[in-house]
Amino acid sequence: MTEGISAVPIVDLDPLVRGGPDKLIAARAIDQACRGSGFFYVVGHGVDEALAARLDALCRSFFAQDLDRKMEIRMEKAGRAWRGYFPVGGELTSGKPDLKEGIYFGAEHGGDHPRVRARVPLHGTNLFPDLPGFREAVLAWMAEMTRLGHVILEGMALGLGLPASYFADRVAADPTILFRAFHYPPPEGDAESWGVGEHTDYGLLTILRQDDAGGLQVKSGGRWIEAPPVPGSFVCNIGDMLDRMTGGLYRSTPHRVHNRSGRNRLSLPFFFDPGWDAEIQAIDTSRADGRADERWDRQNVHEFRGTYGQWLLGKVAKVFPDLGHAAGVT
Ligand SMILES: O=C(O)CCC(=O)C(=O)O
Ligand SMILES: [Fe+2]
């Protein structure tokens, strides 16, 4: 592990991606990062840079369109599947409107998928913008990010001294995947406009591609530190369910975004989360450090019992209250 230009460490995943004998070196670096700030960059991930550039350009073309065009795929049209576009101010990550717009995507489940047939919220088909190549790029990206998610989870399992397939076998055989494209316009005069307010992510692992605008901040050791852009890398962070499973050994670290660059910021977070029906159980709480920080939302993840689907529905209903009602969640 090498120290980057910020306090967030950089982990070279190459040995894990290739499956070489140095796997444990990468696994230990991940473990160290997860016990520390809970945030790390990954390089050596093998994700095609040309695909990333194509997706970046397509997303910028989408967000540059008139609002009317963007609203053609507004989230309301996807109903309970919870996909599509939301305009600036439409999402309330920490109870207040965020200064960002975005598109939500998920696994492309057809009408014959059992959970779509059972009308389970958050399942269904995506709403893709009518831009050539968009659909293909998003589907290819989600496949790549899913591959990468499995690689990182394997590293985490090894780093914890568990069998490589520990998470894959228990919670991530059929992961819940959510992919978002966000555009953060620069604040107009109001320095207090947060792109995303302080929050933690809900699931296992977030893999984020950020552009060169900067603005992502991570709460580490009680203070906010920057996670500046590192070309060709992804920023990874722990979600609430991995915090829960590791008994707090790995923290779901609070983070937030403030776009101070004076230009548009584009970010592409991918959420690699437990299967919808996966029961979330602690691995070995004796390893936990017992710290119980005051959380941003005053929840205690360690008291949660149930499936990931139950946890996620409770969360999403808070972030999009109107859609929560529409989908019968609240
Ligand atoms: O856009 C970013 O850099 C972070 C986004 C984020 O934290 C989230 O969507 O959960
Ligand atoms: Fe987040």
Task: Please tell me which residue, 268 or 315, carries the higher pLDDT value.
Answer: 268
Expressed in angstroms and rounded, the spacing between residue 277 Cα and the centre of ligand 2 is 23
Q: What is d(CA 200, CA 161) in angstroms, rounded to the nearest whole number? A: 26
pLDDT cut 70: percent of the chain above it: 89
Expressed in angstroms and rounded, the spacing between residue 173 Cα and the centre of ligand 1 is 25
pTM score, whole prediction: 0.91
Who surrounds ion ligand 2 at CB < 5 A? Answer: 201
The protein residue whose alpha carbon is closest to atom 9 in ligand 1 is 269
Give φ, ψ of 65 to 5 degrees: -75, 165
**Average pLDDT over every residue of 93-118:** 90
The closest ligand to the CA of 194 turns out to be 1
Distance of CA 20 to the CA centre of its chain: 27
The closest ligand to the CA of 101 turns out to be 1
ipTM above 0.85, yes or no: yes
Q: What is d(CA 310, CA 278) in angstroms, rounded to the nearest whole number? A: 10
Q: Which pair of structure tokens corresponds to residue 172?
A: 């991530």
- The CATH fold of domain 10-326: Jelly Rolls (2.60.120)
167 pLDDT more than 50: yes
Predicted confidence (pLDDT) per residue in 277-319, tens digit: 999 989 964 444 445 556 667 677 887 888 999 888 888 777 7
Q: Which pair of structure tokens corresponds to residue 285?
A: 């709480």
Q: What is d(CA 78, CA 127) in angstroms, rounded to the nearest whole number? A: 7
Q: Write down the domain spans for the chain.
A: 10-326
Q: What is d(CA 99, CA 50) in angstroms, rounded to the nearest whole number? A: 29
Of ligand 1's listed atoms, the one at least distance from the Cα of 182 is 1
Expressed in angstroms and rounded, the spacing between residue 286 Cα and the centre of ligand 1 is 31
pLDDT at residue 322 in the model: 66
* Residue 49: other Cβ atoms inside 10 A: 9
**Average pLDDT over every residue of 142-163:** 96
Q: What is d(CA 128, CA 81) in angstroms, rounded to the nearest whole number? A: 13
